[in-house]
Structure 1
Amino acid sequence: MDAHSNEGRPPPHPRGATSGGGRRQVAWAVIASAVAGLSTYYSSLTRPPVSLKSLPASYALCAEGHRIYTVDDSKPVVDCILVDKHSVTATGTLNEVQLAWDEYQNELIRTFYGNEPTAKKPLPVYNVPAGSIVVPGLYGFKMQLRLDEAKSLSDVLDLLENHVRDNPPGPDTWIEAMGWDQTRWSDTDGSFPTAADLASRPSLTSLPIALHRVDVHALWLSPRALSLTKEHLNGSFPSAIPGGEIVRDPTTGEPTGIFVDAAMNLVPIPKWSAWQMRDYAERTVKDALSVGLTSIHDAATSLEEFELFREMDDDNQLPIRVYAMADSDRLSPDDKNDIEIHDPSPAAHVRMRSVKLFTDGALGSWGAALLAPYSDKPDARGIMRLPEDDLQKLVGEWWHKGWGVNVHAIGDRANKAVLDAFENVSDDKDEVAARRPRIEHAQIMRVEDLKRSGELGVLTSVQPTHATSDMWYAETRLGPDRIKGAYAYQTLLKSSRNGVLPLGSDFPVEGIDPLLGFYAAVARLNTEGKSPHGENGWFPSERLTRAQALKGMTLDAAYASFSEDVLGSLSPGKRADFVILDRNIMDESQPFSEILETKVKATVVDGKVAYGGI
């Protein structure tokens, strides 16, 4: 979830969004592990298979052969976990968890039943299917209309025409979608599309269409949408927009149909109704659970969205955990004065203790703020949505109110500015580190800033699929020197004070499936197994190991949301959030392609099955 101007509805947000309401980046609050079972037994008694949805309050889950990956250094792999109500109470072999259960039962009997042995309850034991593994729960809006699947401009127009045919719009209905990326199109030169392109198909000519670029930092409008926007602006477009740009025809000076960053706020796309927001959020929750997400870091939450999450939680309709970051761009002056931290407990399903700020745009739309001109566009250095002085002031204001401060930064100028702001907010580096400030994306950094982020204790929250999405044009944009400090995940991890690198999906900017991020982190290949550097991956020295990637998607994500004591690993005393996967993605001997074939068998939150079965 990231920045957006349309209050009252949850449309896509720019990168840095983790995630939420159905579309967040999820900074990867993947915090849990999976359970399931084909059979249950106690001692010599064999019981018939049962549905996971009928799991009792207490049970053991086993994956013999050390196939439960706990992300707990004391016991990184185990055969079984013991779940009592909503928490993991023991891990180890079946004998060890059985012993822990017996001791627990004996204590209960001594305390409440006067040592009556018949009060002792048997322990149900469930086995995951052969080949499956259990891992802690993972973190993570894709629109119904998926433009990211288009490989050409013609494909985009085909998708739109098919959508309009199957879903005839009303006279005032705007058509919204996201995911287009002109750098991937085979029938263009990589430059931005225009309103005229949308008008080239008769069925689209008269419709107001607004299409968000894949990074949600550029909006592509149809002629009708342009006309409505001009009317909304009292008949004329502004010549300049602080923090944004209206792309214009170099000959006529007229808008081409592309609005970048802050200029997108000018477009009068109708707000969503409360019903639409609720329906969208509920569908998103279902999608998230189906891919193993148990927690979401929503990296730009409006007050309306936050209240929706709380309403769903009160109605027991929010099975996942939402760590919300207040969207600074969508807060009125009064909101900024009145808003309060909401953090009832680290295990609560709705929390908001951080704010999200935005410094620049994205690389694909030439909006990432760079210290030197773009290599492929020498007249451009990107867009600073928050100039350095304004950024320093805002960081200080929120910091001194006690809020966590998380800042979107893509380009090297933006990242430098954010680190400068955090360095200046306090002379005590230990205090800064304890507050866990975050840079969302940390995508292009000076080599010295890679190290500085770790020294300051600033968390660099990254999304591995950004590397594999951008790798086909990133070096052309940045040149051979700057690329050395870009998408440098292994370097960032090694530079971190505490060895923490939170990994997220950044949906809807990228796909919601966290395993796509896991694959990108360890392989640095696209889903076809290719990269500009061949089958060994793009800059393979920056690949993460499978263990590092899993930790980034679970325990590190929990650390980034101040919940590592209760979430993020399958450790005694922590919440029983887990996922069962149908194959072993942690086996280093298996080809990377196996990761992409992996299916979620079950997602468990607080010890209860929230998705799937066996």
Structure 2
Amino acid sequence: MSLRQRPVSPPKKDSAVPQQGSVPPAQPKSTNPVWIVLGALGLSALLFLASNSFSLAALLTILLLMHCTQCILVDNGYILNTGTLEEVQLHWNIRVADVSHPELQIRYTPAGSIVVPGLSDAHAHLLEYGASRELALEGTKDIQGMFRAYGKYILANPEIQKNTSTYVLGGGWDHTVWPTTRWPTAADLDSDPVLRGRPIILQSKDCHALWVSGKVIEKSSPFPDVVEGGVIFRDESGHPNGMFLDNAQDIIFQPELTDADLMRRFSIAVRDVVAVGLTSVHDAGLNPMSLKFFAKQAELKKLPIRIYGMTFFDENGEYWGNKTKPIIDAGNGRLNARSVKIFADGALRTSGAALYEPYADDPTTTGAMRITSEVLHHWLPLFLRDGWQVDVFEASLKGINISASRPRLEHAQIITQADRIRLGKLGVIASIQPTHAISDMWYAQDRLGPERIKNLYAFSRLIHFLDFTLPLLGFLLDGKSPHGPGGWFPEERLSRQEALRGMTIDPAYASFTETTLGSLEPGKRADFVILSQDIMTIAADKVLATKVIATVIDGTPVYGQF
């Protein structure tokens, strides 16, 4: 998957460069020689003269200082060739010279670094993440810590401080790490003198719960007695107490976001995305405004990263699968959207995930479905028939071309052995987020008990039955776990190659882009990440010290420099 792990031999001199289904690089506008630059094995850069086959935008980069593969040749945003220095010189008729050319860009990597394909987050919520980082509550150890973070934010923003009617939004809180086991309430927010009387909406870390202030409850009233697929927490008098789960979040009044709000949140998210080596993100459709915003940016050619959008599903709306066309390679390949995101149930953290058996810490519930099985049976076959990728169940796949539709199961985190076998036989893509295990492992056994916990994040057993998995950036945990430094169920850990595949070629397949993304091969887009260390070979306890030197999309650095 890295160049070191998967060298690609260059084509023979009299053969065409494999295109892998991508758009071929532009032909040179001039037959005049152009200069290209190589760096070799950490030595000073050498200059070579290209006598043919390059446009003036051509870029030859030594990106991986390893024994077998040294060079990536990039032209017009695509990988033209890879191989050793000698192979590239021979194939492209390159000879050594000692002068420079103003049209060329010099790129070389530091000794000891490694280049891997652009990393992909296969399940994220970009705008929601950006909102949570404006007022980041993740990591607060208790309610008082959250108060301090919120109070500091308000005091640092004079306009908000002066106007107590301004909605203040934040996110990332996680009550499972707080000393108390109870849920927070509006009364908690209203007990703080800085927060009291303000309309406050706080999104939980898993996006399955809203914690709101008394002012927001007042503005959102009246409330229904029951919300299908959601929960309204109430006090002893039966009044909403400020906590709303799953579908109940939809009944909370929130001010309409402006274009400036969306752009600010998007910019924050993109800043963090490229800094960790992500070049592509699958946005999992929490709100229909997200995809609309991305489409507008793609039309303006202003998408700085690649996005695979999932269209929000409204069970109460009209069927649109036969009227709306998927978005394919909009904004010069930066936006694709051919998937429908259906929220079937809640989350384990909030005890809303639908289980076969009752929760171990609350035998009165098995969680809840947000959508009835009747709705799923009605809608899923229609979307599949019209070529949309969806979360699926077995009955909906009858007569469906699996390789063409590539159905996914998001958050495939706790699955019985029987269901793992079924998934493998059906060919359904299991979308899993290993970084969730880092937080879930501290409370999951309380929710599931000592036996069911063995089916949570059972990565090794899932891979045994499935062709593709989609981990998030969970390459290696830090060794801290409820079971000690040896790891939490270490028998389920992924190999490094499996983890890297899950962040590169596997999510490319799951987004129908494996012919242009996911590996460093001729004909594919020049998306790659330069890491400070060889994560495939260094000692395990050194992996977390790896830094992102640069993130490159279409051959252009969007983060860092080299």
How many angstroms apart in 1 are the aligned matches of 2:410 and 2:397? 20
Q: What is the CA RMSD across the aligned residues, in angstroms?
A: 2.7
- Give the one of 182, 190, 196 matched to 2:175: 182
Question: Structure 2 matches for 1:38-437, cutoff 5 A?
Answer: 40-42=45-47, 56-66=57-67, 78-102=69-93, 126-140=107-121, 141-142=129-130, 143=132, 144-168=134-158, 169=160, 170-186=163-179, 188=180, 190-230=181-221, 233=222, 237-249=223-235, 251-300=236-285, 302-329=287-314, 332-333=317-318, 338-344=323-329, 348-405=333-390, 407=391, 418=392, 421=393, 423-428=394-399, 431-437=401-407
- Give the one of 560, 582, 585 matched to 2:510: 560
How many angstroms apart in 2 are the aligned matches of 1:346 and 1:424? 36
Report how far residue 441 of structure 1 moved. 0.9
Report how far residue 56 of structure 1 moved. 4.9
How many angstroms apart in 1 are the aligned matches of 2:526 and 2:422? 36
Q: Return the letter of the residue paired with 1:483.
A: I
- Give the one of 516, 521, 531 matched to 1:571: 521
Report how far residue 227 of structure 1 moved. 1.5
Q: Does 1:452 align with 2:402?
A: no
How many angstroms apart in 2 are the aligned matches of 1:365 and 1:301? 17
Q: Is the 8 A contact 1:80 1:91 kept in 2?
A: yes
Specify the alignment match of 2:431 in structure 1.
Answer: 461
Q: Return the letter of the residue paired with 2:72.
A: I
Q: Is the 8 A contact 1:450 1:485 kept in 2?
A: no
Specify the alignment match of 1:503 in structure 2.
Answer: 471
Identity level (%): 42
How many angstroms apart in 1 are the aligned matches of 2:227 and 2:295? 35
Report how far residue 173 of structure 1 moved. 1.5
Q: Return the letter of the residue paired with 1:612.
A: G
Structure 2 counterpart SS, 1:537: coil
Q: Does 1:601 align with 2:549?
A: yes
Larger relative contact order (CA 8 Å, sep ≥ 6): 1
Specify the alignment match of 1:21 in structure 2.
Answer: none
Post-superposition Cα deviations, 1:528-585, rounded to whole Å, max 9, x if no partner, equal x310111111111111111111111000010001111111000111111011112222
The structure-2 alpha-carbon separation of the partners of 1:240 and 1:122, relative to structure 1 and needing over 3 Å to count, comes to closer
Q: Is the 8 A contact 2:114 2:534 kept in 1?
A: yes
Post-superposition Cα deviations, 1:44-66, rounded to whole Å, max 9, x if no partner, equal 9xxxxxxxxxx952213232224
Q: Return the letter of the residue paired with 2:230.
A: G
Structure 2 counterpart SS, 1:373: coil
The structure-2 alpha-carbon separation of the partners of 1:326 and 1:78, relative to structure 1 and needing over 3 Å to count, comes to same
- Give the one of 469, 475, 478 matched to 1:518: 475
Structure 2 counterpart SS, 1:127: coil
The structure-2 alpha-carbon separation of the partners of 1:295 and 1:480, relative to structure 1 and needing over 3 Å to count, comes to same
Q: Is the 8 A contact 2:114 2:532 kept in 1?
A: yes
The alignment of Structure 1 onto Structure 2 pairs a total of residues equal to 501
The structure-2 alpha-carbon separation of the partners of 1:265 and 1:43, relative to structure 1 and needing over 3 Å to count, comes to closer
How many angstroms apart in 1 are the aligned matches of 2:444 and 2:287? 32
The structure-2 alpha-carbon separation of the partners of 1:263 and 1:288, relative to structure 1 and needing over 3 Å to count, comes to same
Post-superposition Cα deviations, 1:27-57, rounded to whole Å, max 9, x if no partner, equal xxxxxxxx9978532259xxxxxxxxxx952
Q: Is the 8 A contact 1:147 1:178 kept in 2?
A: yes
Structure 1 counterpart SS, 2:349: helix
Q: Is the 8 A contact 1:148 1:179 kept in 2?
A: yes
Q: Is the 8 A contact 1:60 1:97 kept in 2?
A: no
The structure-2 alpha-carbon separation of the partners of 1:302 and 1:254, relative to structure 1 and needing over 3 Å to count, comes to closer
The structure-2 alpha-carbon separation of the partners of 1:96 and 1:331, relative to structure 1 and needing over 3 Å to count, comes to farther
How many angstroms apart in 2 are the aligned matches of 1:579 and 1:160? 35
Q: Is the 8 A contact 1:464 1:503 kept in 2?
A: yes
Specify the alignment match of 1:591 in structure 2.
Answer: 540
TM-score with structure 1 setting the length: 0.77
Question: Structure 2 matches for 1:24-39, cutoff 5 A?
Answer: none
Structure 2: stretches of 5+ with no match in the other structure: 1-36, 50-55, 96-100, 122-128
How many angstroms apart in 2 are the aligned matches of 1:36 and 1:534? 47
How many angstroms apart in 2 are the aligned matches of 1:330 and 1:277? 25
Structure 1 counterpart SS, 2:515: coil
Q: Is the 8 A contact 1:42 1:122 kept in 2?
A: no
How many angstroms apart in 2 are the aligned matches of 1:489 and 1:258? 33
Structure 1 counterpart SS, 2:285: strand
Q: Which has the higher helix share?
A: 1
Q: Return the letter of the residue paired with 2:184.
A: P
TM-score with structure 2 setting the length: 0.83
How many angstroms apart in 1 are the aligned matches of 2:38 and 2:277? 13
Q: Return the letter of the residue paired with 1:369.
A: A
Structure 1 counterpart SS, 2:559: strand
How many angstroms apart in 2 are the aligned matches of 1:344 and 1:180? 36
